[in-house]
Structure formats: structure tokens, C-alpha cells
Amino acid sequence: MKYIKKFETLQLQDTPTVGGKNSSLGQMIADLSSQGVQVPTGFAVTAQAYWYYINHNNLLDDMKKIMSELKDYKQAALLSSVGKKIRALIVQGDMPDDLVEEIKKAYDQLCKHYDQEECDVAVRSSATAEDLPTASFAGQQETYLNIRGYESLIESCKKAMASLFTDRAIAYRIEQGFDHFKVALSVGVQKMIRSDLATAGVAFSLDTESGFKDVIVIDSSFGLGESIVKGEVIPDEFVVHKPTLKKGFASIVKRSLGKKDRKIVYSDNKKEPTKTIPVSDEQRCQFSLTDSEVLELSRLIVIIEDHYSQLKGSWSPMDIEWAKDGQDGKLYILQARPETVHSSKKENGFLTHYKLKEKAPQAFLSGQSIGQKIASGTARIIESADNIDQVQEGDILVTDMTDPDWVPAMKKAAGIVTNRGGRTCHAAIVSREMNLPAIVGAQGATEVIKQGQKITIDCSQGKVGFVYDGEFSFEKKELDIKNISTNIVKPDVMVNIADPDAAFVVAALPQDGVGLARLEFIINNSIEIHPLALVHPEKIQDEKTKKRIEDITCAYDDKKKFFVDTLACGVGTLAAAFWPKPVIVRLSDFKTNEYRNLIGGSYFEAEEENPMLGFRGASRYYSEQYKDAFALECAALKKVREVMGFENVKIMVPFVRTIKEAQQVLEVMKEFGLERGKDKLEIVMMCEIPSNVILIDEFSKLFDGFSIGSNDLTQLTLGVDRDSGQLAHLFDERDPAVKKMLAMAVEGALASKKYIGICGQAPSDLPEIAQFLIEHGISSISLNADSIVPFLKRYKK
């Protein structure tokens, strides 16, 4: 056939003829089918067919004449008018008879291949300049789903050709320097996968926000994948660590249950071949993929990334659309194209960080953070594309969801907030390309935010973005890390971290691993529930608390498994970010008042006069009162090491008062599957009580090393309550008694040939304490993330 190419005959070098999408599909079918990558087949209507159609209908002169009206593409109304006229011109043309016959013949062969009469196909555009390394055309052209029969197929092919002139495609070509009339469009016709009966989504072979290379991010929702791309749902999100996955481990380091209240499915109406229906309450509380499916899909993504990287000769992160067929239960790859935002960035030796200059009030709205920046301005609420001209330079665009027609307005905006969508929806993808901060999935944004309100959007704090009332000043810091290495000082320079969402960014700093990973943040923010409330739900009496627990844990029948999985994912993310460097995870060290603040906590915690010196740290772990909860913590850490494969995780026991207590804790940990020395497990102890220093020789026989907690050691050496404002002037790590304790701890550990570091606040705040410890031969210094570069610069010659 002259104008038709079957997918299985295509390779990447055919891009000028069939466009990026189609050539990529052919390459995968040819090269990766034998490795288990299943791609539904189909055919391409070539770029030559596009020109044949245009010339057959004598459209080119009229198209150029209409395009000449576009004097300023930033005028949204004019751009929209020009695009609409050209699209209408193309769609109204007649398909040449011989081209019609070729399309029919190829469709018949496809139907025969799948043993179906009028099989269901997706009709997609595939621009010949699309998916090139420097140009992403995401969402610029249309896709037509569940197309059946000759008439619908021919009409959809014409519409796909016309979509070369959507508003965004026109604007993008102008910006990128592409000639409108030298870029052609091929049409891909691909057998559909019945994900309307199952699930579908988008995946990236890197972290879309930080560019971190070692993970796969999968977004998933019920029904056809268009609901994710169009931002109609907040999808489930899964993150998988590639290096440990390749070693055979089940390294899912994040499972986030989305808000999947609707799905797109097939309809019986040929004019409207798909429809949106509500998702059942039962399905809303279910993950849309099982763990085994997440891992299987991740392995496919690794195969695809490795293959394209080999073809390119360098790392090629991928943007992939996938679907699960509800009839055969199998996973299919629908599209794969190079990711263009992070892969095109060049390393310049700078890390950019945004930070509010002043303490903002409590956020009144939050959603998923895109862009790691801060912006402030006037909120401009726009309900439809007809009103995008209202957006002024520097406004914060607030809307339900964007689509390609909104791009001119997005270019004027300082930031974007949407009601719906996830990290792979149109608003998120385009915001990244435009280097704009955005908060997507901020439910109720268009109702809560008022027209003309001054607001600040903060995307600098991790995966959650916050909206504040008012305009707040912020600073942009560029950290110069060129030629900065931790080798310039003798001890290892490690980092203190609590928030898994910040891990991929912090890991880019010069560091030798994590000296303190705090579990409290994960328990407080991701779990929220007192562990004993999940072990003994029968003790919770009030209905309000019961409902809160059920709402948070609804995806789990086994509520204890919710705690274990969530904690394991948080720790796993930290371990993945710094892999294979050591990550020292401190067992939970909440005080009683902090445990009481967890949901259901008041049923299990007493009110203590001085929680700092109360039922905390090691004393909890072996007590009959708390032991069942500690078992969940141990199960999570065991999962991180043995199931996820993160052998770089070491465990640290806090607030060990006596030798006997140390022995009791180690015995309980062994009972729960965490045995020192087994599977290379190292257990270290916080050295933060004077008894730890005095008896460091004895403690050295029980542990693999120590980490000084300077906050508690100062408190207990000087007898100063560190929470007391009245005594704040007495709390000083530079006091001679505290320095003597620090020196004794370091010297004692080294004499016993044990590792000893420090993870307290002192070296971050007090350079002289850091220098004092270095002179005494400390093994490592663990600093807060914002202190690492200034610390290293002090020692750089």
C-alpha cells in the first residue's frame, strides 16, 4: 500500500514518514515483543497521505492565508479563531478514493488479525516533528477512542489531520521555530485495549519533579487513560526503585491512593463513543493496580528505557502510556516517547531552591506540587477557555483543569492551581515545560479562592503544594556545588532528613548518606493514627475517631498492614534516594504527649508531667504496654531490608537508659525478625544520655556504633529542659561540661573500635562544635540539609 505502513514494519528512522509516536510503536513491536513487552498493533497513515489529502482538496493556499491573520499568537482570541478556521477547512475536505480504500483495507486486516468484526481502535495523531529531543508536543493533537467501522474511522483520520492546527500546536511551533507548512502529520490507528473494563495510566522512568533517575513513577486509574491525561481524576500513584527492582526485589517505595470518582468507558453511541461514569464507592477505596501488576509494569518500563538508551547512546528516560485489558488481564504498552523536560537539562553545578522569607499563616488549600518553586499574585479564576483573555501577566491562574487551548493563558500566569488532576495531567506536564509552579488536584480551589484575591502558592516543600492567603516575599537561592566534595573533611558528611517527599532533592547535595532518618514525620503525616489503635481497634469508643481511621485506611482490610506498608514506603523512599549509601533510621522517639496527638492516641497514652524524661525511646519497645505497636515498626523495617532490598538501611535505637534496657530491646528486635549481624544488619545506638557516655565501653559490646544526640545530651548534662523558654539561655552545647561529654563519647567509641557520628543540632548551628568533634576524630557529622553546602565551603581551600 502506498500510504499505509503497518506498525510491525516501522522503526525510529521512519519518523519523517510516520511521526514519533508511530515509529516508536513499530520499534517496540519489532525489538521488544520477545522480551515480553506487549504493544497492540495497528497501522500508520503516513505523512505523505496528509500532503496528498491537503493537495487533493487544494487547501494549502487557504491555510496559509488564514495563518497570515495571526500577527500575535499571544492574543488568545485571535489564535483560537485562526486555529478553528484551519481545522474546519481540513475536516470539510474529501478523502481521496484510493486513500479511503487503503485505509479500509488496512482496517480489515487489523480486524482479521484480532478476529473481530469492526474492531475498536484508537486514532491518534503522530506529528513528524513530535517527540524529538528538544520538542515535546504533549497534548497538542487529538486522540479519538473506541472508533469502529469505516465511516467513523475515515472521519476520525480527517479530524486527527486537522488537529495539527490546535491552538497549542500552532503556538508551540512558532516558539520552537518549526514551519507550520513543513511539519506534516501521520495518523496512527491502533487496536484498543479494554482498559474501560480495568485500569490504565501513564508512567515515567524518572521522578517527574526532581529528575531523580533511579525511580519509576506510575499513575493509574480505573477506565481509559484519558481520565488521567485530561486531569479528570487524581490517580493512584506508585513509585518503584529501579536498581533494587533489577536485583529481583519488590521495591515499591510509594503507594498513594488517589481520588478516582469517575472513569471513562465505552458507550454504544458512535457519535460519542466514550462516556464518563461514576466509580463505585468500593472501587474508590481500592488501589487500581495490585503490587504484582505494579512490579510487572515496572519491569516492562525498565526494558523500554534500557532499549531506547542503547539506541540513543546515552540515558533516555521515557514517558509511557499503558493499559490493562479487562478481558485477558494483561498489561500493554500503548505509547512510549522520550521524556523531554529533565533529559534536556544540562548539569550546571547549581542547585536552585525557593524559600519563603517570612513565616506564612496556615495554608487554606493544598494539592499536588509541581515545579518546586514559589509564586504570588492575583488569583484569576477562569471557568472556560472562552475567558482566558482575562488572565493578565503575573496572575495565578485558578481553574478546574486546563487543556491545550489554555496554553496562551498559562504563558502569562506566574503559577497555576487546578481543582483536579495528578502529576501527569495536562496542567502538570505543560507547567513543567514552561517552568511554572502549579498545584494540581487542589479540590475546591475555584470555590475557596476568590476572584482577585492575593495569594501565594508554595511548591518548594515537597510533593504537597500549599496556597496561602496574601502575597508573601520569597527568595531564590542557587547553591553552587561545583567542585564541592565531602572528601575535603575527614569525617563522612551526612544529612538529617525526615520527609520522604524531599529525599530526591536532598540526595542531590554532596553527602555521604543519611546520619539520621526520623520516623516520626512519616507516622505523623502519612499514617496519622496511633499504632495501637490499629492493633486494638476494639478500644476505640467514639464513632468520629472510628470513621477517621476507616477513611484513612479504607484501602486495607488488615489495618495493621496499612501501618507496615505506609511506614515501609516512607523509609524505602529515603533508602532509595540515597542508595547505596548508608541510611541510619532511628526507631520512633515520640514523647507521650506527641503519641496522644495521633488519632486514637488518647486511648493508649497517659498524661505525663515531663514527657522529655518519661515513657519514650527504648523503654517503650519492650514494655507490654507498647510491644505490639513496636512489632509493626519492626515489620516495616524488615520489609524495607528484605522485601524491598535496601540493605543500606541501618537501625538506630534512641534513648537507651541502661545496659539491661539495651539487652531487652535487642532481644525484642530479634524476636520480631531484626537480629544484629543477620543479613548484614547493623544496629547503632543514640548516645544522648550521660549513662551512655559513662558506660560506652559496655554499650560497645552490644551495638555496631553510636550517634551522638547533642540535644538530649546537653539537656541531661546541664539539667536543662530544652523546651523551657525560661531556661533557653542555659542550653548551650559549647558549655565545658557538654564538650567534655562529647569528647568522652568519641574517644570511648573509637577506643572500642566502633563507629561514632553526631546527628544532633549542634554541628548545624555551631561551627566550633563541628570543628571540636573533627579534631577529636569523630567518624561522621550529620547536618540539616541547608547546612551541608555552607559547612563544606568553610573547609574548601
> Which one from 241, 307, 426, 530 is the annotated catalytic residue?
426
DSSP letter string, 524-551: IIII-B-HHHHH-GGG---HHHHHHHHH
Q: Tell me phi and psi for residue 774, to 5 degrees.
A: -60, -45
Q: Which 3 state secondary structure label does DSSP give 174?
A: helix
CA–CA distance, 737 with 741 (Å, rounded to integer): 6
Can 687 be counted among the known catalytic residues? no
* Exposed e or buried b per residue across 180-210, where buried means at least 16 C-beta atoms within 10 angstroms of its C-beta: beebbbbbbbbbbbbbbebbbbbbbbbbbbb
Q: Rounded to whole angstroms, how far apart are CA atoms 337 and 355?
A: 34
- CA gap 106, 122 in Å, rounded: 14
Say which of 119, 157, 634, 759 is annotated catalytic. 759
SS3 85: helix
* Longest Cα separation, the chain: 94
- Rounded to whole angstroms, how far apart are CA atoms 574 and 507? 9
Give the cell for residue 342. Answer: 529533565
Q: What is the sign, positive or negative, of the torsion defined by CA atoms of 659, 660, 663, 664?
A: negative
Is 536 tagged catalytic? no
Q: How far apart are CA 288 and CA 260, in angstroms?
A: 9
Question: 470 exposed, middle or buried (CB, 10 Å; 0-12, 13-18, 19+)?
Answer: exposed
d(CA 149, CA 727): 81
In angstroms, rounded to a whole number, what is the distance separating the alpha carbons of residues 257 and 755? Answer: 40
3-state secondary structure at position 713: helix
Contact 763, 790 (CB under 8 A): no
Question: ∠372-378-383 over CA atoms, to 5°?
Answer: 90
Q: Any idea what DSSP says for residue 512?
A: S
Q: How far apart are the first and last CA of the chain?
A: 69
Give exposure, 89-101, as e/b (b: 16+ Cβ within 10 Å). bbeebebbeebee
68 exposure class (CB count in 10 Å sphere: 0-12, 13-18, 19+): exposed
Handedness of CA 51, 57, 62, 66 (dihedral sign): negative
Number of H helices and E strands in the chain, helices first, is: 30, 30
Looking at the DSSP assignment, which residues form a beta bridge with residue 121?
147, 191
- Grid coordinates of 786: 541547608
Q: Which residues contact 550 (CB under 8 A, 6 or more apart)?
A: none
CA torsion sign for 275, 280, 285, 289 is: negative
Query: Which helix (H) or strand (E) segment is 278 a member of?
Result: strand 274-278
What's the CA gap between 136 and 129, in Å, rounded?
9
- Helix, strand, coil shares of the chain as percentages rounded to 5? 40, 20, 35
Contact 244, 579 (CB under 8 A): yes
Q: Contact, 44 vs 4, CB < 8 A? A: yes
For residue 26, the one-letter residue type is G
Strands (E), 558-682: 583-586, 649-653
CA distance 46 to 384: 35
Residues labelled as active-site residues: 426, 759
